[in-house]
Every structure is written in structure tokens, then in C-alpha cells.
Homo-oligomer: A and B are copies of this chain.
């Protein structure tokens, strides 16, 4: 028997980049990470990342054979192997990530959007096993989305399908500024940052007391709002209610586009469970056309926050290998 084949799954985030050796069954045999924000130059970052991978392989006595590299990143484009204008990464403009990585290896290197990677991961290892039509929404610093139609990930003509974090809540200019340069994008409401903005808005409008009034915007995070809401803090509960209202409203649009069987919520805000799921479901149903009402499941991702993106990025290489 030969060595166990693995794909290296890589999740490039704004702060950290996580890598894992993933076998066909989705077991992670080795894992490591590297600080993304430390590297101003992408070439140096990739060289350091590749070095980490080689060291990790050494640590397990070369018991694995790497067959490819799957990389998930914000604004990752599978057609071109690029990252394009990613607001949260240190490298600006269009970055030919796959080409830079291929200076180190002759194996297949696939770059894709991190939310698309999560959708593939959910389909192969998570709660979407057996589903043909579903959507994964990733709730982190921003809001990402991955669409699966008829058992296949939707890439679209330019490889940029699934950016509903940047659809606007309403027409016009009187909306929240978004990091993308536009106004009123869904992720300015529904994300770790979005719920902080909503909390401050409610604090500004109301006179209700709240344990969170003593913290600055910079000190606050989504977890603190979550904890306060669990303790019955009225303003924190209302922040979740409004976040669910905005998400439910736009998920009704998602249903009217591709009529999925289920929508999975993944990432930080999804860990708030009922606090976010209940209002999201309620407002989604309120906004659905009658033919869709009561039919679309709103589910928690079955992949743990830690491993999902790595699993997803690696599973993409496995799935492409199998379609050959």
C-alpha cells in the first residue's frame, strides 16, 4: 500500500491563514497556521506558507502524498486563480495567487472564494450531503455566500457568483457606508461588524439602559452582544432582531432566485443560534412568495467553524479530481 493521499486545504483570512492536510474522507491529518497580516508582499507570504507546508509534512514523517492545493480566499476567482480587490487582505488590486503558488509546485492549485469553498465543504462533508440545491451564507467580518444548483457550485460567467453580502437593502444614498465603496450592502447589517453598527444605532435612538453602553465601538465584538442578549439585555436582543430582519429580508430574495432546499448559516454570528436563527427565519417567511412559504430549511452548518474553510478548499480539489 502506498502513502495516504491528501490535499492541502488553505483558508486565507484577513488575520490568519490556516492550512490542513485533508484525506478523501475529510479527516485533517495535520494542521498549522501563519499570520496573513504580517506579510506586506504576497510573494513572501506564499513562500512562507509553502515552507510551513513542507515542515508540516516532515513532522508526520512524510507519511502522506500531497496531490494538490485548494485555497479559499475572499474574492478568490477560480477561473483566473486570482484574488481581486479583497478589502480585508494586505495585498491590493488583482493578485495572481495560483501563479505565485505554482512557482513552488507542479501539482494542481485551485483558488476560490472562501464562501464557495464552504459550500463545497458542506456538500461533501456537512449537512448538505445529498442536497442538490442549497446556499451557504458565511457570517464573519463580512458576509459571503456560495450557491449550489443541481449539485454543482455556481461560479457564473466571470467566476464571481455569490456576493450577496454586496446587495443593497434598499435603493438610494441614505444607507450605511460599505467597505466596498458603496452604500447599504447587506454585510453592513449582517456580519460581526454589522451587528456592532446596529447596536450603536439602537443605543443612539433609545434611552434603554444596557450593560454594553460602557464599551467603545472598538472594544465591542459580536460575542459580547451575544452574551449580553443571553442575559436579557434589551438593546442586545434588539440588535439581533434587526440583524435577523435584514438577513431574512434578503434571504427571501435568494429563494426567489434559485429556490434552494436549504440555506445554511456558517461562522461567528451563526453561533448565536436562536438569537439569530429565529428572527431570520421569521422575516424570511414574512417576505416569501406563497409558493415558497414553509418549504425552505434554515440550518446551522454542520462543519465546525475551525475546520470548514480548510475542508471546503481541499474538497474542491477532490471534487475536481473526481469529475475528470
Contact = CB atoms under 8 A, between A and B. Distances in A.
A75 interface: yes
> A interface, how many residues as a size bin?
35 or more
A120 to B, nearest CB: 15
A156 interface: yes
Interface stretch (A162-170, A193-201, A214-222, A312-320): A162-170
Contacts of A147: 257-258
A132 B157 contact: yes
A157 B246 contact: no
Contact of A252 (B158, B167, B180): B167
Given A163-B289, A166-B256, A182-B287, A246 B156 contact: no
A261 interface: yes
Interface string A281-308: 0000001011110011000000000000
Contacts of A226: none
A143 to B, nearest CB: 11
Contacts of A133: 156-157
A91 interface: no
A249 interface: yes
Given A155-B259, A171-B246, A259-B156, A84 B291 contact: yes
Interface in A252-274: 252-254, 256-261
25 contacts: A75-B291, A84-B291, A85-B291, A132-B157, A133-B157, A150-B155, A154-B258, A154-B259, A155-B259, A157-B260, A158-B291, A160-B259, A161-B257, A161-B259, A162-B256, A162-B257, A167-B253, A167-B257, A169-B170, A170-B170, A181-B290, A253-B253, A254-B257, A257-B258, A258-B258
Interface of A: 75, 84-85, 132-133, 147, 149-150, 152, 154-164, 166-171, 180-182, 245-246, 249, 252-254, 256-261, 287, 289-292, 295-296
